[in-house]
Amino acid sequence: MSVHIDDTGAYVIDRDPTYFGPILNYLRHGKLVYNKELAEEGVLEEAEFYNITPLIKLIKERIVERDSKSTQVPPKHVYRVLQCQEEELTQMVSTMSDGWKFEQMVNIGSSYSYGTEDQAEFLCVVSKELHTPGSGLGTEQSHKTKQQQQQQQQQQQEEEEASQEEEHEEHEEQEEQEEQGGRQTTPNEWLRE
């Protein structure tokens, strides 16, 4: 990098001033503050040009954090529509559990007589977050996946049992040989005897 000095003795740095503002603010205050429309990669480029190591580290951490947020899959929801009468609304909403959340209520307008009183009917929409392996909140596996896991576990168990049976047979064979004379004879030795 060659140093350029103007007529007044000031250093001339030919860099994009758009990204220099956050660099200057960091040097003044020790905090990274920049406009959200500003590309973090551009600020990183300038921090690397000026070799400001703590700022480089900070910007890289922010870029990683930003990228990890953008790759997260938003949670999926299961929705249910429940039909209920006016007098059941309070009880239904107050007894929702297991992560079910009230979303919307629609008066379907059909009133009917129940005894001597007119009752309105409602449709209530409730939802529950469906936990998927990518969300990190636990898992609800499909029936097919559970079956596959059970089959794999069963197969592993059968293989372990077969292996144990083989070891048991080999052990019995060794004991039998020890009882017969302590050493194993080869097919050639059988012929000689």
Q: Which of 103, 110, 99 is nearest to 124 (CA)?
A: 103
Percent of the chain with pLDDT over 90: 16
- Residue 53 clears pLDDT 70, i.e. is over it: yes
> Which pLDDT score, from 0 to 100, does residue 88 have?
83
Backbone dihedral region for residue 98 (phi beyond 0: left; psi -120 to 50: alpha; all else: beta): left
> Which pLDDT score, from 0 to 100, does residue 14 have?
85
161-172 average pLDDT score: 76
Q: Are strands 121-130 and 76-85 parallel, antiparallel or unpaired?
A: antiparallel
Nearest-angstrom CA–CA distance, 158 and 155? 5
- Residue 130 clears pLDDT 60, i.e. is over it: yes
> Which pLDDT score, from 0 to 100, does residue 76 have?
85
Compare 17 and 176 and report the one with higher pLDDT.
Answer: 17
Q: Is 114 helix (H, G, I), strand (E, B) or coil?
A: strand
72-88 average pLDDT score: 83
72-96 average pLDDT score: 81
- Residue 17 clears pLDDT 70, i.e. is over it: yes
157-162 average pLDDT score: 79
> Which pLDDT score, from 0 to 100, does residue 132 have?
61
| Residues 107/127, Cβ–Cβ less than 8 Å | no
CB atoms within 10 A of CB 124: 19
Range in 11-15, 56-60, 98-102, 130-134 with the lowest mean pLDDT: 130-134
Averaged pLDDT score across all residues of the chain: 78
For the entire predicted model, the pTM comes to 0.38
Compare 111 and 171 and report the one with higher pLDDT.
Answer: 171
> Which pLDDT score, from 0 to 100, does residue 61 have?
92
